Amino acid sequence: MAKQTVNIGTTANDGTGDQLRTAFDKLNDNFDEVYTAGPVSSNLKITSSTLTSIETNGNITITPTGSGHLTVNDDTVIISTSKTPSTAVGASGDTAGMIAWDSGFIYICTANYDGSTSIWKRVAIAAW
């Protein structure tokens, strides 16, 4: 649906604008569209170019539909906090696809944590 603009007339109380019921119907339709589109009533906050989870320790998941993919149109992806997995077996909460780094290695989690299987793989970082 396209945005519906309330006709307020040319001057105050000139009788050329929308009737009260028509105006509020347009406003309701506009708000319904905003709330349906999100992130209203979600745990997300958008400030400038930053997307933040309002929920403490909340994840942000981007899920394209169908055969869609997440595409980063830049030459840089930044993981700003280093992490060294505790062991190759990992820890509760580790899931396939996680990526981590520290001063010596880049780590990739290849399976979900089960308490016994080695799920973290690593490659050494070398100077050049």
Report how far apart, in Å, the C-alpha atoms of 96 and of each of 112, 118, 121, 125 are: 5, 12, 11, 21
**pLDDT tens sequence across 79-96:** 999 999 999 999 999 999
pLDDT given at position 33:
80
pLDDT given at position 96:
97
pLDDT given at position 57:
85
Same domain, 50 and 94: no
Domain span at residue 13 reads: 1-66
* 118 token code pair: 């080695």
pLDDT given at position 98:
96
Same domain, 1 and 56: yes
Report how far apart, in Å, the C-alpha atoms of 7 and of each of 11, 12, 18, 89 are: 11, 11, 5, 64
* Phi, psi dihedral angles at 100 (to 5 degrees): -140, 165
Same domain, 48 and 78: no
Can you give the pTM of this predicted structure?
Answer: 0.61
**pLDDT tens sequence across 38-72:** 666 677 888 888 888 888 888 888 888 889 888 88
Q: Which of 44, 66, 88 is the last residue of a domain?
A: 66
Same domain, 60 and 82: no
Neighbours of 126 (CB within 10 A): 6
Same domain, 56 and 34: yes
Domains: count for the chain = 2
